[in-house]
Structure 1
Amino acid sequence: MKDVFIVGSKGIPAQYGGYETFVDNLVTRQVSKGIKYHVACMTFDKQPKHYDYNGADCQEITVPNVGGAKAIIYDLKALNWALEQIKKNNLRNGIVYILACRIGPFIHSYIPKFHKYGFQVWVNPDGHEWLRAKWSMPVRKYWKVSEGGMVKNADLLICDSKNIEKYIHESYSKYNPNTTFIAYGADVLSSTLTADDAKVQEWYEKHQVTPNNYFLIVGRFVPENNYETMIREFMASDVKKDLVIITNVERNKFYEDLKEKTHFDTDKRIKFVGTVYDKDLLKYIRENAYGYIHGHSVGGTNPSLLEALADTKLNLLYGVGFNKEVGEDGALYWSKTPGFLKDLLEKADKLTPKQIDNLGKKAKQRVIDEYSWKKIVDEYETKFLEN
């Protein structure tokens, strides 16, 4: 039996983001009987629970709710839990898989402890956390140093983007990092909802949106997702359709600054509609968008991009390597050059149904061929068992 400890996701069953969805799929779609998953799950509860989830051994790790630092504390406490379990149950020759690069300054002290029991330490380096604008400069410096520490000490780095793998080798060649590429996954399934469903009708009526008459943006409301460019360019266009923005928007400084810079509140086409937690409803909204605009500029294979390619026929992606690698010829690409996205939106608005269908087929095929959860889980299981 190969014991695999997974550290760094908030927990399963998934109610959060990309890492949580990944771990959930890894566990629920498990094929090999030769792997036993042990999953750390974050909690603020003083009485952490231990439970089974689809055969995975799940342990809640209690952390103090102290802002960004809680993730570092969580990872370290989760590694201590993994070490205790290995010692207590006399486990040998397994894998500790750490998601993200938060504990670089501390990881070197853990490596020999795990190696003592034949356990390798693997890391998923995620995207460029140190480039995210939400962090202050000292925190960004910490993330960069931490990334270097993880790359230097890991036995293996599993990159979910070929561009991230390339970046790791170019930036940390002095460490001669051992890497491999296994992508993130997505499902190509249609929404079970129809236009007659009450929740569908309620959502469209509430936001005064008409199916197939809106461009859509879905993503965290942060500067590196290029909201300013997308909104400014849309406002400059003569597109008559709405721009529906599904995001965790709070009336924060970024929102107020954006409003002041662009005056988007004066454009009736632009609609911030909050978040949609109902996955089937979100899928329906994607399927019935005229087009999807993706502005993510930081990170590897982005989950919301895969979902868009699987669900929406017409996708307009910010033209960075991460996005081009995923979309290939199944999408259209834009740059931040003033007027570029405006022109692309106006051209996209005039595409024929056949042209849009062709793009949609290519996009969906990309996901089926390269990013299906079945393929991703199979690649992970093969990798876990070959060591």
Structure 2
Amino acid sequence: MKDIFVIGSKGIPANYGGFETFVDNLVQRQENRDIKYHVACMTFEKDTKNYEYAKAECQEITVPNIGGAKAILYDLKALDWALKTIKERDLRDGIVYILACRIGPFLHSYVKKFHKYGFKVWVNPDGHEWKRAKWSAPVRRYWKLSERLMVKNADFLVCDSKSIESYIKEDYAKYNPKTTFIAYGADITESKLTHEDSKVSEWLKKHQVKENEYFLIVGRFVPENNYETMIREFMASDVKKDLVIITNVEKNKFYEELKEKTHFEKDPRIKFVGTVYDAELLKYIRENAFGYLHGHSVGGTNPSLLEALGSTPLNLLLNVGFNQEVGEKGALYWSTEEGSLSSLLEKTVKLDQAQKEELGRRAKNQIKNYYSWNKIVFDYESMFMK
């Protein structure tokens, strides 16, 4: 039996989040029964539970709700749990798989302890956390240091983007990191909802939106996702369709700054519609968008991009490496230069139906061929058993 301890997701069953969805699919779609998963799950409650989910052992780890630092504390406490479990059960020859690079300064001492029991420490470096604008300069310096030390001390790194793998190999060449590429996953399934469903009709009516008459953005409302560029360029274009933005802007300082800079509230086409947590409704909204805009400039393979490629025929992506490797010829690309996106928007509304359908077909093929969850889980199980 190969014991795999998964550290760093908030837990399963997944309610939200990329890593949580990944772990959920990893254990639910498990084929190889010679693997036993042990998953750390974050809680703020003092009384913790140990429970089984899809044959995986799940252990709640209590942390105080102390802002960003809680994730570091959570990872360290989860590693302590994994080490204790390995000792008590006399487990040997397994893997501790850490998601994200939050605990670099502490990793070296843990690696030595796990090696005593024949356990290897694997890391998923995620994306460039140190580039995110939400962090102060000292915090960004910590994230960069932490990333470097995670790469230096890990036995193996699994990158969910070829661009991230290239970056790790080039920037940290002196450590000669051992890496592989296994993507994030997605499914192509149509929404169970129809135009007649009350959920759909109420949502469309509430936001004064018509099917196929809007471009769509879905994602966290942060500067590195290039909302300012997308909104400015949309406002500068002469397209008659709406721009529907699904994101959480409550008490968001960036939202107020952007309103002051762009005055988007004066353009009736720009529609911030809040969040949509109903998965089927969100899928319907994606399927019935005229096109999807994706401006992520930080990270690896982005879950919202995979979902868009699997459901929205027309996808307009920021031309950075990890977006291009996912979209390939199934998407159109724009840059942050003034006029780039606005001119592309104006061109896309003139595409004929056959051109749109061909782009949609290519996009779906990308998901089927390279990003299906069944393929991703198979790749992981094969790698774990090696």
TM-score (norm 2): 1.00
Secondary structure of the structure 2 residue equivalent to 1:123: strand
Partner AA of 2:215 in structure 1: F
1:328 maps to 328
Deviation at 1:313, TM superposition (A): 0.1
Counterpart in the other structure of 2:85: 85
Match of 2:346 in 1: 346
The secondary structure found in structure 2 opposite 1:292 is: strand
Q: Does 1:55 align with 2:78?
A: no
Deviation of 1:48 (Å): 1.0
Matches within 5 A, 1:203-352: 203-352=203-352
SS at match of 1:98: strand
Three-state SS of the structure 2 residue aligned to 1:240 is: coil
Which digits, 9 at most, give the CA deviation of each residue in 1:241-270, with x for residues without a partner? 000000111242211110011000000000
Unmatched runs of 5 consecutive residues or more in structure 2: none
Aligned position for 2:189 = 189
* 1:368 to 2:368 alignment: yes
Q: Which residue of 2 aligns with 1:40?
A: 40
C-alpha contact 1:237 1:343 (8 A) present in aligned 2? yes
In the aligned structure 1, how far is the partner of 2:79 from the partner of 2:51? 18
Which AA in structure 2 matches 1:267?
A: D
CA contact under 8 A between 1:93 and 1:117: conserved in structure 2?
Answer: yes
Report Cα offsets for 1:293-313 as digits up to 9, x if no partner. Answer: 000000000000000000000
**Corresponding residue for 1:108?**
108
Structure 2 CA distance, aligned partners of 1:250 and 1:170?
A: 39
Q: Deviations along 1:180-220, whole A, 9 cap, x unmatched?
A: 00000000111111111110111111111000000000000
Distance 1:137 1:124 in 2: 24
1:12/1:41 contact within 8 Å kept: yes
Matches within 5 A, 1:156-195: 156-195=156-195
SS of the residue 1:239 aligns to? coil
- Partners of 2:249 and 2:306 lie apart in 1 by 22
Q: Which residue of 2 aligns with 1:149?
A: 149
- State the AA in 1 paired with 2:152: K
Amino acid of the residue matched to residue 307 of structure 1?
E
Q: Distance in 2 between matches of 1:300 and 1:54?
A: 27
Q: One-letter code of the match for 2:275?
A: T
Residues in 2 aligned to 1:123 and 1:8: alpha-carbon distance in whole angstroms: 10
For the 8 Å contact 1:93–1:118, the answer to whether it is kept is yes
Query: Structure 2: how far apart are the matches of 1:374 and 1:308?
Result: 19
Give the secondary structure class of the aligned counterpart of 1:48: coil
SS state at 2:307 partner: helix
Secondary structure in structure 2 of the residue aligned to 1:313: coil
AA partner of residue 153 (structure 2): N
What per-residue deviation string (whole Å, max 9, x for no partner) do you get for residues 154-183 of structure 1?
A: 000000000000000110001000000000
Kept in 2, the 8 Å contact 1:92–1:117? The answer is yes
Secondary structure of residue in 2 paired with 1:16: coil
RMSD: 0.5
Percentage identity across paired residues of the two chains: 73
Secondary structure in structure 2 of the residue aligned to 1:286: helix
Measured in 1, the distance between the counterparts of 2:174 and 2:249 equals 41
Which residue is equivalent to 1:15? 15
Task: Please give the alpha-carbon distance, in whole angstroms, between the structure 2 residues aligned to 1:379 and 1:300.
Answer: 18
Correspondence 1:133-144 to 2 at 5 A = 133-144=133-144
Contact 1:186–1:372 (CA<8 Å) still a contact in 2? yes
In structure 1, what is the Cα distance between the partners aligned to 2:251 and 2:225? 17
Paired with 1:316 and 1:249, the residues of 2 have a C-alpha distance of: 23
For 1:59-96, what per-residue CA distance to the aligned partner results, in whole angstroms no more than 9, with x for missing partners? 00000000000000000000000000000011000000
